Structure 1
Amino acid sequence: MARLSRLVLPGLPHHVIQRGHNRQAIFLDDADRQAYLAALQDVAASLRVAVHAYVLMAEHVHLLLTPPDEAALGLLMQGLGRRYVAAFNRRHGRSGTIWEGRYRATVIEPEPYTLPCMRYIEQNPVRAGLCLHAADWPWSSAAHHVGRRRDALISEPMPFWAQGNTPFEREMAWQRLLDEPLPDVQVQQMTDSALKGWVLGSGPFLARVGTSTGRPVAPRPRGRPRHAPTRDGGAA
């Protein structure tokens, strides 16, 4: 089956994954990570793209972003990629791209999926066995969300604000959520939706997006279609 064209819906959160070519490292040291985050902050600000969560792993990154218009997400990833690759190549005396083809992304329904997606992103180092607690990983937004540091890159989404009336309440609520592993089925759901481009949302949300965009938004059920039952209970 041909790969779906990338779907961008302004004003909605998008989960983005970008991997290194052949799963090679895209960060060799902390200076690389700092350069990537500086570029992300500059480009996101110039395009008015809100960054809600991120994590930098050795060979890939996860981002949760809300673009203000249809072009902004692609422009951000293009500008960020070019700027970071140029700096990476200069520092390490190499040439060529470091990315595995195009970035992967999916639209997510804000209310039920924003917080699980943030947990999925920030718990990535814990699942990889790199730390015991998500906020201990210095290269993610987790420490910001639990109040350990202020990260000017981050813009909290509305579902995060709903976690409490004060910053302390929100930070404590988020700490509790981060300490609870995301169920395996949700981890797989988050991964598959981003890598395959399927919209992540409830049935009514998928129906609305499908109708408004005129494109598939979820995989078809496997197997032969079920037939309507007849009056005697058999298949039609």
Structure 2
Amino acid sequence: MPRSRRFQIPGQVWHITHRCHRQQFLLKFARDRRLWRYWLFEARKRYGLCVLNYIVTSNHIHLLVRDQGKGEIAQSMQLVAGRVAQAYNRRKQRKGAFWEDRYHATAVEKGDHLARCLVYIDLNMVRAGQVTHPANWETSGYREIQSPPRRYRIIDLNALQQTLGMEGTSQFRTIHREWVEQALADDRMQRDPRWSGSLAVGSKPFMEEVRRQMGPQVYTRRTESDRETTSLHDSSGTYMPNSNS
């Protein structure tokens, strides 16, 4: 299977997904999900990773980050994935791969598309039928945004607000909570593979800019559009259409 190419675009927001090997439920225990979150915190400290949202499920993770242009995303993913896999295999006396070969990254346009992606991540475990509200899933960015811990904060709220074009933390929390409640009320639970399987999601002008920055290797990639969104296909085959993303 071809590997999905990695792109570095300073200032770009990326939605990252990384799945356990063969979609096994290797993160089904809370201790392993918490360990993933701990190493994400360490990655933020060590490499300056700018985290906007995240969720750790039983067999994959979602991570929303803003590219600082210093190679911090690749370094962070290597650190987190490696340490979690080592700890699990050592505890279980297990050998073999813990993760799928590589993580997948989708460029997301700032503004409305970013807001939709944020909520899509928040609702992951509701969509999977594990909880009725994102506040009930411990290892999630929703809980951290709405009830920030005194220590070990991971999400950069200032960066998130800035990227969404908002000001005022308390106002942002209210708006964020309203977005989620409205999505729940409207029953917007459907899985949308564009957020996890495309090279980019946004408006048509955004897609043209992404093509320009990614270079000739994406010029032949197909795009699909509806009234609100254009997505750029990833032909690498890294996306798993049967997963609960």
TM range (shorter): 0.7 to 0.9
**Residue 169 (structure 1) aligns with:** 171
**Residue 60 (structure 1) aligns with:** 60
| Residue 113 to residue 25, structure 1, CA distance change in 2 (3 Å) | same
In structure 2, distance between residues paired with 1:104 and 1:7: 11
Aligned: 1:124 with 2:95: no
2:115/2:164 contact within 8 Å kept: yes
In structure 2, distance between residues paired with 1:66 and 1:181: 24
Query: Where in structure 2 are the equivalents of 1:107-146 lying within 5 Å?
Result: 107-146=107-146
Query: How much does 1:77 deviate?
Result: 1.1
Query: Where in structure 2 are the equivalents of 1:44-193 lying within 5 Å?
Result: 44-69=44-69, 71-147=71-147, 149=149, 152-156=153-157, 157=160, 158-160=162-164, 162=166, 165=168, 167-181=169-183, 187-188=191-192, 191-193=193-195
| Residue 170 to residue 219, structure 1, CA distance change in 2 (3 Å) | same
In structure 2, distance between residues paired with 1:221 and 1:137: 33
In structure 2, distance between residues paired with 1:125 and 1:4: 26
In structure 1, distance between residues paired with 2:170 and 2:224: 44
Structure 1 or 2, whichever has the larger Rg, is: 1
1:26/1:98 contact within 8 Å kept: yes
Query: How much does 1:7 deviate?
Result: 2.4
| Alignment coverage as a number of residue pairs | 217
SS, match of residue 65 in structure 1: strand
Q: Which amino acid aligns with 1:139?
A: T
Query: How much does 1:125 deviate?
Result: 0.9
Instruction: Name whichever structure is richer in strand by fraction.
Output: 2
**Residue 38 (structure 2) aligns with:** 38
Q: Which amino acid aligns with 1:71?
A: G
Q: Which amino acid aligns with 1:174?
A: H
Q: Which amino acid aligns with 2:84?
A: Y
Query: How much does 1:37 deviate?
Result: 0.8
The CA deviation string for residues 111-158 of structure 1, in whole angstroms up to 9 with x for no partner, is: 232211110111101111111111121110111222364560111212
Query: Where in structure 2 are the equivalents of 1:187-202 lying within 5 Å?
Result: 187-188=191-192, 191-196=193-198, 198-202=199-203
In structure 2, distance between residues paired with 1:80 and 1:23: 18
Q: Which amino acid aligns with 1:175?
A: R
In structure 1, distance between residues paired with 2:116 and 2:224: 24
**Residue 229 (structure 2) aligns with:** none
**TM-score with structure 1 setting the length:** 0.81
In structure 2, distance between residues paired with 1:28 and 1:126: 16
